[in-house]
Chain A
C-alpha cells in the first residue's frame, strides 16, 4: 500500500461511528502499540471482543495472573524504551496490577494500564467486581482517569501515552466503564503533544550550566554517578563522550547498569549497598560529585549525614521534585540528561586524572583480592552465584539481556554480569518486587526477539510468579531461566546471619522439583549441583531453541559482599562477615 492509499484509508476510517471498545483498540494502534499483556474478565469483555477483530494487528499475550501481565509490560518497556500496555478487568483484575504499577512508578517505567469497570450507573454501589481503582491507584500512578463516556476514549488514551512516556516516565491507568465500551462515538484520533499544566522537560538554564562547568573544570577529584535517567533519555553516547573528554571516572546505580560498557576504562562499577568498593569509598573522597539521572536512593547513599559532605554536588535531573529532595545540591541542572550532557560537554575542558583513577583501581584490587577472586573461583564444593553469572556472561559474550529477580540473585547478577549493549539489564530496583523476574523476562524477550534473554531468579522469587511458565509455554518464548537455589530466602537470611544473631526466622523455604514443574508445562530443563557440569549445562540451555529452565543448587549460606549495612556510611563498606561488629 502506498503512503497515499494508507492516508486515505486512515482518513476514511476517521470520523466513523464505532463502539468505545473498538476506539480503545484503534487508539492503541495509533500509538504504535504492538503487544498487549492482559487477562480478560466481565467488565473488559467488550474491549476483548473488539480485539478479536484486530488480533492479527495487535498481539495479545495472555498471562496467568494480572501481576504477570504488568511485570511483563514493564520488562517490555525497559528493554525497548516503548510504553508497555496492560489490559485487565475490573475489581481483582485491576487490584492485581497494583504491585507492578507501584514498581513502575518508583522505577520510572512508562506503562498504560487499561482496566475495565462496571457500568457507570453501578459506580459506588459495591457491584460485582467493582473496586475503586482510581482511588487505589492514585498514589502509585503518574496520572489516572476514569472514562464514563465513549467520546472520551481517543483523547484520554492519547493523553495517557503522552504522560506515560514524556518527562520522567511512569505508569498511567485508565479505567473504562462497561457502558463507555459499549457506547458509540464519532472516532477521530489526534495524538497529544501538550498539556497546559504539565511541562515534561524544562528549558536548560544556561547560567547554571556555566556554574556547573566551572565546578567541573576546577575539580581535582571529580566523580560522576549515573542512573536510569541516562537510559531513559537515550544519553548513552553523550555520557560516554562527556566522560571521555573530561576524563572523569564514572559509576552506575543498579538501574543505570548497561548505560555504559562494563569494560570502559572510566567505568568504575556499581554504587550502593552491594556495589563496588571503589565507587562507594570514593564518593566520600571526591571534590565534585556529578549525579546524572539518579535520585539518591537510600540504597545508594547509605547514611545521608556522612554522604559526600566534602563534595560540591551537581545534579542533572528531569524531575524538579527530586532536586534537593535527599541531597542538597550546589548546582541543579533541570532537564533531559541527553541535552544537558551535550551542552555541558561544550563548556568543559579536556582533562585526565591519572592519579585519581589509580585510586579507584587500587580500591578495585582490594575488592578483587578480598571478594571477587574467591567468589569467581570458590574452593568449596558448593557453587557460588558469582561464578554462574560470570560464566553466563562469558558464554554469551556479554551480549545477553540480563533479567534478575530480587535479593542475592539480583546482586550477583548486577555485580558479575558484563554489558556491551544498552538496555540490557532489567530488574526491580526501587520497589524490590520479588516475583518480578520471570514475567519481566517474558516481556523483555517479546521486545527483543533477536537478543538472548537470561533470567537469574532465586528459589523464593521463582515461586511468587511461577504460573507464568504457562504463558512462556503457550507463546513458546525462548526465555532462559536460571534458578539459583540455595533453599533459603537468601538475602533475608544473610541479614539474619549478620544482624540478627543467625536467628533464621522463616527464611528456609521448600521448593518443588522445578524441573518437573517445567516439564509439566512442556518446558525442557535440568538440575545441576556441581561445578564440572556447569559449563555444559549452560551451553545446553543457551543452545535451546525455545524456553529452558536450569536449576542450579548453590552454596546454601553464601553472602553477598561488599556491603554497606543499612544506615552506615558508604565509606564504611564492609568487605567480609568478620567486619560486621
Chain B
C-alpha cells in the first residue's frame, strides 16, 4: 500500500505541475483517469501512458524547452516509473520494509544527479541552430546509448 500511495502522490504532484503550466481541463481529466488506473493496476500499460501523456503535453506546450515545469517533471516521471515497477511486484497489503527501498532510492538519487547535471549543461549552451558536426556527434552518442541499452535488454 505504501508504494501505491507514493505513486498516487507523485501523480498528484505531476497534475499540479501540468495545471500550473496551463494544461487544459480535458487533458487533466485524461491524466487523472490514467493515474487512477496506474495506482490500481501498476502492472498494466497505464504507467507508460501516464509518463508519455505528461511528457508530450508538457513538451508541446508553449515555453522554453528547459523551463521549471519540465525540470520538475524529470524526477517526477522517473518516480512514477519506479513506484509503478515496484508496486507491480509487491502485493497491495504487503508490509514493505524500509531497507527494501534503500537501494532503489540510492539509484534514483544518483540518476537524478546525472540528469540534472546534464540539464545544467544544456541550459548553459547557447540557443540557435546546432552546428552539423555537433548534431552528428549527438546522434552518434544517442545510437551508442541505445545500443548499450539494447544489449542490456
Chain B associates with chain A = no
Interface positions of A (Cβ within 8 A of B): none
